Amino acid sequence: MTSRLEHTWWFAALVSALAVLSMGFLAHRAGLGVPPSGLAQWIVCTLCFFVLHRGLAFAGWLLVLALAPSSRLLERSGAKSPY
C-alpha cells in the first residue's frame, strides 16, 4: 500500500531525482561506469535505484509524519479496508 503522498507529482519527482543522483554517486564510487557497460552492472544500478527510491520515500513519509501528523497526505490510497 502506498500513501497519497507518494502519488503527488512533486514528491515523486523529488524522491526520484534524489535516488538518481545518489545511485550515480554510489555507482561512481563503487567503480561502475556511468552508464553501466554490461548487463550485470545495469542490474546492480537498477536494484540500487529502487532500494534508494523506496528508502527515500519512506524517509520523506516519516518527515511528513513528524512535521504534520494529521496531514491527509499520509492516508493510504486504494481500496478501503472493511476492518
Q: What is the pLDDT of residues 24-76, one digit of tens each?
A: 898 888 888 777 788 988 898 899 999 999 999 999 888 888 887 777 766 66
Does any domain span residue 74? no
CA distances (Å), origin 8, targets 2, 5, 20? 11, 6, 18
Judged by DSSP in three states, 75 sits in coil
Specify the pTM.
0.77
Does any domain span residue 63? yes
Q: Is 60 exceeded by the pLDDT of residue 81?
A: no
Taking alpha carbons only, the member of 74, 50, 48 closest to residue 62 is 74
Does any domain span residue 29? yes
Does any domain span residue 57? yes
Per the structure, the complete domain to which residue 62 belongs is given by: 13-67
Domain tally, the chain: 1
Does any domain span residue 36? yes
Name the residue with higher pLDDT: 11 or 71: 11
Name the residue with higher pLDDT: 57 or 78: 57
Which DSSP state fits 4?
G
Name the residue with higher pLDDT: 38 or 78: 38
